[in-house]
Amino acid sequence: MIFLTGDVHNDLGPKLGKVHNCINEITAALQYARLAADCGMKATLFVTGLGIREQPEKIKSILSLGNVEFGGHGWDSLKNHTVRTALWSICGSRYGPKAYQRYEIQKTVNAFKTYLGRPPLVWRGHAYYADQYTYELLCAAGVRVVSDEVVCFGRREASIEHLSSGLWSVPINTMPDHDTVMHGSMSQADVDAGRRLGCAMRDLQPIPGLNRKQRLAILIRQAAKHAFNIREMPYSAEYLYINNDVRVFSASEWESRLFGQIEAQLEKSGFATLLLHPICMAALDEMQTLRRILAFCRRFTTGFVGEAARVQ
């Protein structure tokens, strides 16, 4: 079973948009969904609540194709970095206190109900982000399956698991495109910078090279951690670079490695979860690589992430 997945975000502003050549994410998602439909493949797209509110008609156009399941992706892609960094420095989580995280989850669920007529049953946190309260709150909000953990770097065997929170977990067991293939302005230097920042945040050490806000956040966390200390999950993206040797490959080498991983995971684990962002595939080469990946995968059975429990 192949789970073809992608993450779709709200407008992040021109500065962050430059990373992916200012491509409109939901327009790219519509093209992505059509290409998958042409190959007879199902896809699960995790979209932010704010993204749905910004472009509801395009989201409905994607849903009308019949081959896409929409899942939640948080409210706003952690868009306001200053606020999110402040929440982390005080509470230990970018979601802030439990009550505020509950509020943002409910806002996302309400956006699904208002514009799509149904709540999300599957979920992936932006940047794989989850803390000690996230899954409890998602389960209470009606979510049934999450897909946050990246296991393709060999830390543990991939398996679809039933968590103590009551949710099913479908890990990402092949190379996620955003972190491993050169596209837009993404490079190995970005990954290495993420590793240095992640180490500084984990160890609460304001190392050289951090900007003033980052250094201040670490100092506040040092002071506040004894009063407020919400634990993040170890597979949140800021730890991904610390705990794994993440390398960024050229498009051709990445594609070849991805094909090998898909076949290996299908044989070993019985499923392969692909994370191919519509915007990354568009920025890479206007989705030509995606076309080849879909052609490669169409000989296998595909399913929605929401159907994962049936694989067991």
Q: pLDDT by residue (tens digit) across 156-177?
A: 677 999 999 999 999 999 999 9
* Nearest one of 5, 276, 7 to 127, comparing CA atoms: 7
3-state secondary structure of 95: coil
Q: What is the pLDDT of residue 187?
A: 85
CA distance 264 to 153: 13
**Could you tell me the CATH superfamily of domain 2-79+97-184+246-311?**
Glycoside hydrolase/deacetylase (3.20.20.370)
Instruction: Point out which residues pair with 70 in neighbouring strands.
Output: 45
Tell which wins on pLDDT, 15 or 24: 24
Dig out the tokens for 192 from the structure. 């290495």
245: pLDDT strictly greater than 90: no
Q: How far is CA 263 from the centre of its chain?
A: 22
- Is-contact 25 280, C-beta < 8 A? no
CA distance 291 to 311: 26
Q: What is the pLDDT of residue 311?
A: 54
pTM (predicted TM-score) = 0.95
Q: What is the pLDDT of residue 277?
A: 97
What share of the chain has pLDDT > 90, as a percent? 79
Residues in Cβ contact with 203 at an 8 Å cutoff, skipping those fewer than 6 apart? none
* Nearest one of 4, 1, 309 to 160, comparing CA atoms: 309
* Nearest one of 37, 35, 39, 31 to 8, comparing CA atoms: 31
Q: What are the residue boundaries of the structural domains of the chain, listed by start? A: 2-79+97-184+246-311
312: pLDDT strictly greater than 60: no
- Is-contact 232 239, C-beta < 8 A? yes
